[in-house]
Amino acid sequence: MSNIIKVETKFKNIKLYVFILIELILCLLVQTTSSLANIVVSYSAIIIAFIFCLSNFNLEKAYILTLIGLLGTVFADLFLVVIEPRNQILAMIFFNITQVCYFIRLYFNHTTAKEKQIHLLIRSIAIIIAVTVTLLVLKNNTDLLSIISLIYYANLIINTVYAFKHFKISKVFAVGLLCFCLCDLFIGFSILDQSYITIKENSLLYFLCHPGFNIAWLFYVPSQMFISLSTKKVLDTSSI
């Protein structure tokens, strides 16, 4: 029996190292490819993160929520990366589903009713502020995409904050969400420049929008890798 356990452990470790290696290689290739090759490489990194999570299948609530969240990301990137023309609204709907799944996973970490109530209050206030700021800043340029994007980002930020609050439960989940935040921060800069406001070329904000390499995906691939890896922690504990 002990030999079987050792073999299973060795297999799991090999699978883990291969997954990390593949994702790191794809992260590099995203920066060095273009056109169709870049689309294939980029989307493959997202699909592989989902497949790795799926390969650890179990019935823990945190695992199921993370799996659905990663699947939501697969669909979101289908509409953003693969399909032409892009459907940003559908993509953001799926990204919102992803963040709701991660919110619920984090919500289950609370042990008291008071903690849960405070969490819901903070999240509600953050969403209200996000929508209000969108309306105030964009004014007549406000559209459905901008509103659902800011709601999504507000949820992502709150998720990241709470993931670090419960850092001991899953360190890699917290780091994954932080990378997710940084990715979307740079995407947000780019969208502002392209669709909503004019940014001066000699400004810092312009440099952040056009750094000369794909800075968003530099954070995005690791974010999905870490989030997928966080399900391995779920397998090793009875708590979520």
The arithmetic mean of pLDDT across residues 183-191, rounded, is 82
Say what the alpha-carbon torsion angle 115, 116, 118, 121 is, to the nearest 10 degrees: 170
Is a pLDDT exceeding 90 seen at residue 232? no
> Which pLDDT score, from 0 to 100, does residue 234 have?
47
Q: State how far the Cα of 189 lies from the Cα of 219, in Å rounded to an integer.
A: 15
The arithmetic mean of pLDDT across residues 128-145, rounded, is 89
Is a pLDDT exceeding 90 seen at residue 24? yes
Polymer length in residues for the chain? 240
Q: Give the 3-state secondary structure of residue 63.
A: helix
Q: Write the DSSP string, 71-135.
A: HHHHHHHIIIIISSS--HHHHHHHHHHHHHHHHHHHHTT--SHHHHHHHHHHHHHHHHHHHHHHH
> Which pLDDT score, from 0 to 100, does residue 6 have?
66
Residue 137: pLDDT band by 50, 70, 90 thresholds? Answer: confident
The arithmetic mean of pLDDT across residues 74-100, rounded, is 97
Q: Closest by alpha carbon to 224, among 48, 62, 96, 95?
A: 48
Least reliable range by pLDDT among 146-155, 175-184, 191-200: 191-200
According to DSSP, residue 195 is labeled: I
The arithmetic mean of pLDDT across residues 23-31, rounded, is 97
Instruction: Count CB atoms within 10 A of the CB of residue 153.
Output: 23
Amino acid at the residue 189: F
Least reliable range by pLDDT among 37-41, 72-76, 109-113, 133-137: 133-137
With b for 16 or more beta-carbon neighbours within 10 A and e for fewer, the 19-37 pattern comes to: beebbeebbebbeebeeee
Give the whole-number percent of the chain exceeding pLDDT 90. 73
Q: What is the pLDDT of residues 220-231, one digit of tens each?
A: 999 999 999 998
Contact in structure between 111 and 123 (CB atoms under 8 Å): no
Is a pLDDT exceeding 60 seen at residue 236? no
Q: State how far the Cα of 134 lies from the Cα of 157, in Å rounded to an integer.
A: 16
> Which pLDDT score, from 0 to 100, does residue 193 have?
59
Residue 237: pLDDT band by 50, 70, 90 thresholds? Answer: very low
The arithmetic mean of pLDDT across residues 195-212, rounded, is 69
